[in-house]
Structure 1
Amino acid sequence: MKNNNEFPTPTLIAVNGVELEVFEAGQQNLGRPIVLCHGWPEHAYSWRHQVSPLVEAGYHVIIPNQRGYGKSSCPKEVTAYDIEHLTGDLVALLDHYEYKDAIFMGHDWGASVVWSMALLHPERVRKMINICLPYQIRGEKPWLDFMEEVFGDDYYFVHFNKQPGVADAILDENASQFLHNLYRKNVPAQGLGDGMEMINLAKATKPLGEAVMSDEDLSVYISSFNKTGFTPSINWYRNLNRNWHLLADVSPIIHQPTLMVYGEKDSIPPLPNIKDFVPNIDVKSLNTGHWIQEERPAELNQMILEWLE
């Protein structure tokens, strides 16, 4: 991997029965860890714009490719990607560095893992910053059943579960085209539209809007998914109902100081009553789409650093 933006060279670290590819910077700032958790279909490299500012602000920056991504382990069993395993990896990563707790920052699916860290391992989370994905209320119905009722069979979360292997194969065949079409900004509004959204993106021959990143940066993602395929990362979605059951007996209230950053042009809506579940939260937004740390890195970094201070 090219050292664009001085992105650190990775190390493979054995944790929790897997190996994680971990990019680390600011070792001189030992004792002030911040762990950055990427989303789908992303890569640790999605945080490249945040590394230097965080190191300069005195943080020890730890960015894992989570299980199923990059050169990290890709277990075969679907249940190996449930929320106990995903948060367990981060707990074991803190143990590896001999840290009692850390600040966690997550984007998209990474935010879901960070919210769950605060629910399942609250003593390991000092503060958190979540980008795009708000707290997910555990309602009466398992999450996938609820989504199927609201959005229908073709909604990609539901489709990934009901038609295992179908989307995986199409994304694998069209990895480069899919990622080129996905990482766009200022895309004309289309609403939720056809639920086969991801498959349609993989098959579309012409991208809409403007590219979020350079071809050189995008090539890091493409080569990563060419190596792993999409099944391991899609398996995260295949555990949503299992996660709902795993969180049954956990207190739903999060007490840590939290920053939530929304993209005003993102299709993920804010959670209006988030303070009921996360009383110690500051809510901010930027005039941007879903790929906030790629689209508006300078503004996001300033927001993060001011909040951390």
Structure 2
Amino acid sequence: MILPNIQGDIAMFNPTDFPTPSLISVNGVTLEVFEAGRQHAGNPIVLCHGWPEHAFSWRYQIPALAAAGYHVIVPNQRGYGHSSCPTEVTAYDIEHLAGDLVALLDHYGYEDATFVGHDWGAMVVWGLALLHPNRVKQVINLSLPYQERGEMPWIEFMEQCLGSDYYFVHFNRQPGVADAVLEDNTSRFLRNLFRKNEPRREPEPGMAMINLARAETPLGEPVMSDSELAVFVSAFEATGFTGSINWYRNLDRNWHILAEVSPIIRQPTLMIYGERDAIPQSEKLNAFVPNVTVANLDCGHWIQQEKPEETNEVILNWLAQQRIA
């Protein structure tokens, strides 16, 4: 098992230790997929990254899960890395994103798997469990709790509550504007975004992600080493941000897609929160995810990268308990 070396408070990982990817054609696209523990075929676990991330965000979980007896499957989802980046915005709705994961299971010959998601990856895993419940054995999600569908489409609701500059809304109402700013400032944006222990401050006017991309000085401390950050920077310098931002541009479409689906997640579920994450914890989680176990770690949003050993311990302990139950 490869464990992180700690220099100061930054977990260090040599990017050359990351698995070599395969390009797999599924669901009308090609996915760049990283694997470990192939000798454990029959016990799959699929790790789904968030925005603006990469399969590399799971670098500390992959060896730990493989050592624990899992066939670990980690795709760069559509819009990311060397995976396909369709031009149509609607190609990134929850049907397509969940369909990619179902097709990935079919490719490996698996009926179901344990799915792990962080941030937007968690949103995809929640949606997958609703749309294809028979393909999801267990759910482990980080940072983003289950989102109640509500009576109003999500972007419309956010615009009403949080205003037009809120980045989810801005991505939808001003397509292409943020994409261009982030592309022009890729390295600075990602350097400023992947931070921890940031001081509390009053919200500033304007669109948060554009402000981050233009900020000269980052706040707090870096989540990762320069060599790790370079993996993310290189990936987004190659692809740009439009494909990944198109996930946001389908939120209202997803709201309509899920209209006729039972809203209850019935699989055994582990929800991991960062206590300093800006994303609030759900007060209604048990109502929609009745078989949930909740864990809290002393960190911000980038949970599995900020606290790799603690994250691994929580996940592996929970998985062991599920095997016994």
Normalising to structure 2: TM-score of the pair?
A: 0.93
State the distance in 2 between where 1:9 and 1:253 align.
37
- Aligned position for 2:22: 11
Residue 271 in structure 1 maps to residue 279 in structure 2: no
Residue 244 in structure 1 maps to residue 244 in structure 2: no
- Which amino acid in structure 2 is aligned with residue 47 of structure 1? W
- Which amino acid in structure 2 is aligned with residue 275 of structure 1? N
- Aligned position for 1:107: 118
- SS of residue paired to 2:315: helix
User: Unaligned stretches of 5+ in structure 1?
Assistant: none
2:15 touches 2:231 (CA, 8 Å); kept in 1?
Answer: no
Which of 221, 229, 232 is residue 243 of structure 2 equivalent to?
232
Tell me the CA shift for residue 187 of structure 1.
0.7
**Superposition pairs for residues 49-198 of structure 1, below 5 Å?**
49-190=60-201, 192-194=203-205, 196-198=207-209
- Aligned position for 1:21: 32
State the distance in 2 between where 1:194 and 1:144 align.
19
* Alpha carbons of structure 1 residues 257 and 237: separation in structure 2 relative to 1, 3 Å: same
- SS of residue paired to 2:60: helix
- Which amino acid in structure 2 is aligned with residue 21 of structure 1? E
Tell me the CA shift for residue 192 of structure 1.
5.0
State the distance in 2 between where 1:62 and 1:303 align.
19
- SS of residue paired to 1:247: helix
User: Unaligned stretches of 5+ in structure 2?
Assistant: 1-12, 321-325
1:191 touches 1:267 (CA, 8 Å); kept in 2?
Answer: no
Runs of 4+ in 1 over 4 A off after TM superposition: none
- Aligned position for 1:213: 224
* Alpha carbons of structure 1 residues 107 and 5: separation in structure 2 relative to 1, 3 Å: farther
State the distance in 2 between where 1:179 and 1:253 align.
35
Percent sequence identity over aligned pairs: 68
2:14 touches 2:227 (CA, 8 Å); kept in 1?
Answer: no
- SS of residue paired to 1:262: strand
1:142 touches 1:241 (CA, 8 Å); kept in 2?
Answer: yes
2:139 touches 2:270 (CA, 8 Å); kept in 1?
Answer: yes
* Alpha carbons of structure 1 residues 263 and 239: separation in structure 2 relative to 1, 3 Å: same
State the distance in 2 between where 1:256 and 1:175 align.
38
Aligned-residue CA RMSD in angstroms? Answer: 1.1
Tell me the CA shift for residue 189 of structure 1.
1.3
Tell me the CA shift for residue 299 of structure 1.
0.5
Aligned length: 308
State the distance in 2 between where 1:222 and 1:285 align.
29
- Which amino acid in structure 2 is aligned with residue 24 of structure 1? E
Tell me the CA shift for residue 190 of structure 1.
2.6
Normalising to structure 1: TM-score of the pair?
A: 0.98
Tell me the CA shift for residue 77 of structure 1.
0.2
State the distance in 2 between where 1:195 and 1:29 align.
49
1:66-119 CA distance string (max 9 Å, x none): 000000000000000000000000000000000000000000000000000110
